[in-house]
């Protein structure tokens, strides 16, 4: 697998190369205009016998390619990785993330879903020996990532999550809990926990019964309520790409409210805890402290090792091209001036 460690450098590089290309095009046009204003083009070139236009082009393209290679090197090209066997003591965690349209509400900045993804990424960074899996849900629930100890892959799967990850509209919390419970390994004696992140607007009504069944299997349930009890409208894009608010079949603006009571009841049944997310703190760090207290068991896993860096070849090629560019003069070589193969001598 290939990736860049600093992908934003590639975006900046594309911009720089585009500016260079545009600047060169303008330079060429202005240079030709200046020559035409000075006099007849062939005559002006004869007045500058030592000036080499092909060398100007060569110098530009050498500089252009050198910057491109240097930028790629700075972006940190990485190739990997190798599977390695590891032993660790930890627990299993499934994060069930609501991806319904109501998660686009902006009472948590920049919106509920984006804030949740950022908090989950921070949680993954804080994990050490635990396995983690991702379940996404709206009107139905799907496994986004099977449970794993490969945190690099976990972040990649997390970044791909959006409100289009589940095509079925609605919010089915019972389906999310059932799918999460099935996603754990069959390994005995290991602590297992579900972290449910949602605004709690359940459209199924069977979530509490499912929570009781899951708890009987020894699985703990933690809940994070995201949103405001007062409710806010849900921003969407119309067919012209303009930002508007979602409306019902009668044309009334839909308001998404946090159902805190349901999430508190789920956490109580699941012997976990409930936290309400806010703009100052999402709450996953609080739940992480509770998870650290759970009994840990030795886990055997195969994970991908760190990616290997391959920036050196790109930087070396860039330096070689820059040296060549510096050594090339704008002037024609003495040999090319002495022997002009295209010059026709007049015979008397």
Per-residue model confidence as pLDDT tens digits over 148-161: 888 888 998 999 99
Reading the block at residue 222, the tokens are 């933690």
Of the two residues 320 and 81, the one the predictor is more confident about is 320
Reading the block at residue 9, the tokens are 């450098």
Confidence of residue 347 (pLDDT cuts 50, 70, 90): very low
Q: How far is Cα 243 from Cα 152, in angstroms, rounded to an integer?
A: 34
pLDDT value at 348 more than 50: no
Which strand (E) or helix (H) includes residue 22? helix 7-38
Q: How far is Cα 236 from Cα 54, in angstroms, rounded to an integer?
A: 54
Of the two residues 253 and 44, the one the predictor is more confident about is 253
Q: How far is Cα 227 from Cα 109, in angstroms, rounded to an integer?
A: 10
Residue (of 52, 162, 10) closest to 97 by Cα position: 162
Q: How far is Cα 159 from Cα 161, in angstroms, rounded to an integer?
A: 6
Q: How far is Cα 250 from Cα 79, in angstroms, rounded to an integer?
A: 54
Q: How far is Cα 185 from Cα 148, in angstroms, rounded to an integer?
A: 10
Reading the block at residue 272, the tokens are 């976990």
Confidence of residue 344 (pLDDT cuts 50, 70, 90): very low
Q: How far is Cα 93 from Cα 181, in angstroms, rounded to an integer?
A: 10
Q: What's the whole-number mean pLDDT along residues 281-308?
A: 80
The pLDDT, as a whole number, for residue 15 is 92
Confidence of residue 197 (pLDDT cuts 50, 70, 90): very high
Q: What's the whole-number mean pLDDT along residues 316-344?
A: 68
Q: How far is Cα 115 from Cα 285, in angstroms, rounded to an integer?
A: 14
Which strand (E) or helix (H) includes residue 176? helix 173-182
Tens of pLDDT, residues 108-165: 999 999 999 999 999 999 998 899 999 999 999 999 999 988 888 899 899 999 999 9
* Domains of the chain, residue spans: 2-79+309-338, 83-303
Q: What's the whole-number mean pLDDT along residues 259-285?
A: 94
Fold classified for 83-303: Rossmann fold (3.40.50)
**What is the CA 314 to chain-centroid distance, rounded?**
24
Confidence of residue 303 (pLDDT cuts 50, 70, 90): low
The pLDDT, as a whole number, for residue 341 is 41
Please state, rounded to an integer, the average pLDDT across all residues of the chain: 85
Q: How far is Cα 245 from Cα 233, in angstroms, rounded to an integer?
A: 6
């Amino acid at each position: 697998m290939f990736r860049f460690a600093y992908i934003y450098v590639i975006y900046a590089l594309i911009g720089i190369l585009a500016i260079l290309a545009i600047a060169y095009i303008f330079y060429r046009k202005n240079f030709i205009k200046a020559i035409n204003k000075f006099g007849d083009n062939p005559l002006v070139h004869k007045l500058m016998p030592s000036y080499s236009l092909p060398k100007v082009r060569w110098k530009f393209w050498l500089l252009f390619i050198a910057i491109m290679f240097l930028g790629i090197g700075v972006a940190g090209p990485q190739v990997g990785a190798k599977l390695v066997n590891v032993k660790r003591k930890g627990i299993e965690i499934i994060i069930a993330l609501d991806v319904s349209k109501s998660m686009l509400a902006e009472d948590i900045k920049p919106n509920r879903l984006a804030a949740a993804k950022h908090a989950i990424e921070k949680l993954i960074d804080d994990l050490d020996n635990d396995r983690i899996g991702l379940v996404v849900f709206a009107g139905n629930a799907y496994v986004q990532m099977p449970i794993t100890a490969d945190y690099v892959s976990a972040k990649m799967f997390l970044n791909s999550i959006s409100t289009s990850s589940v095509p079925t509209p609605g919010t089915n919390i019972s389906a999310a809990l059932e799918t999460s419970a099935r996603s754990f390994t069959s390994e005995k004696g290991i602590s297992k926990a579900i972290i449910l992140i949602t605004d709690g607007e359940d459209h199924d009504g069977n979530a509490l019964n499912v929570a009781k069944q899951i708890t009987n299997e020894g699985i703990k349930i933690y809940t994070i309520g995201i949103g405001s009890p007062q409710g806010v409208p849900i921003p969407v894009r119309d067919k012209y790409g303009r930002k508007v608010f979602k409306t019902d079949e009668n044309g009334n603006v839909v308001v998404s409210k946090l159902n805190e009571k349901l999430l508190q009841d789920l956490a109580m049944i699941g012997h976990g805890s409930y936290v309400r997310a806010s703009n100052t703190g999402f709450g996953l760090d609080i739940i992480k402290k509770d998870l650290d207290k759970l009994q840990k068991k030795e886990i055997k896993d195969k994970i991908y090792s760190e990616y290997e860096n391959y920036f050196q070849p790109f930087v070396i090629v860039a330096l070689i091209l820059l040296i060549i560019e510096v050594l090339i003069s704008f002037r024609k070589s003495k040999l090319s001036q002495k022997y002009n193969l295209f010059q026709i001598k007049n015979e008397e």
